[in-house]
């Protein structure tokens, strides 16, 4: 079962942009729509929704504008895992709400649930050991 965490819960939408809990539900729905084989390989993957990446992470990645990072996979890719050298930190996909909302606004014609699903699948692909280049060959979201 995927373990999810919610941070900075701001209550029901009430005509506002989706809050963290609502985006968390979108991510769970997207995850549940994936094929069984994918979900099985992601059984211990955590999904965490935050408004933005923290400053330390942005600095580590060399990103000045926090709106440039919509998601991140943190962990050891399945292609790199070793039973003799287990990872201490859990595999985690972070989705950053505010940058996702900004991209959604900029794209105008993209459904928000589809965008959340796209970012989630992109980060899950990193969990499988795929590079950004390989992901773009299969799913060039920029077009």
Q: What is the pLDDT of residues 42-81, one digit of tens each?
A: 888 999 999 999 999 999 999 999 999 999 999 888 777 7
* Alpha-carbon distance values, 12 to 3, 19, 57 (Å): 22, 7, 29
- Domains present along the chain, CATH in parentheses: 3-138 (3.30.2010.20)
Quickly list H helices, 33-111: 36-41, 55-61, 97-107
The percent of residues in the chain predicted with pLDDT above 90, rounded, is 45
- Region 119-140: what's the mean pLDDT? 77
Mean pLDDT across the chain: 82
Does residue 97 carry a pLDDT above 90? yes
> d(Cα 107, Cα 114) in Å, to the nearest integer?
12
> d(Cα 110, Cα 123) in Å, to the nearest integer?
19
Extract the tokens encoding 60: 């580590």
pTM of the model: 0.80
Does residue 119 carry a pLDDT above 80? yes
């Amino acid at each position: 079962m995927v373990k999810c965490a919610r941070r900075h819960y701001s209550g029901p939408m009430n005509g506002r942009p989706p809050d963290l809990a609502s985006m968390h539900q979108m991510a769970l729905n997207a995850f549940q729509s994936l094929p069984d084989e994918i979900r099985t390989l992601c059984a211990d993957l955590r999904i965490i929704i935050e408004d933005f990446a923290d400053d330390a992470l942005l600095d580590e990645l060399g990103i000045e504008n926090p709106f440039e990072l919509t998601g991140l996979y943190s962990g050891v890719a399945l292609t790199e895992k070793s039973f003799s050298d287990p990872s201490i930190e859990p595999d985690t996909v972070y989705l950053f709400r505010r940058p996702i909302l900004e991209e959604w606004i900029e794209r105008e014609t993209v459904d928000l649930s589809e965008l959340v699903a796209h970012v989630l699948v992109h980060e899950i692909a990193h969990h499988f050991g795929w590079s950004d280049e390989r992901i773009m060959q299969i799913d060039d979201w920029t077009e």
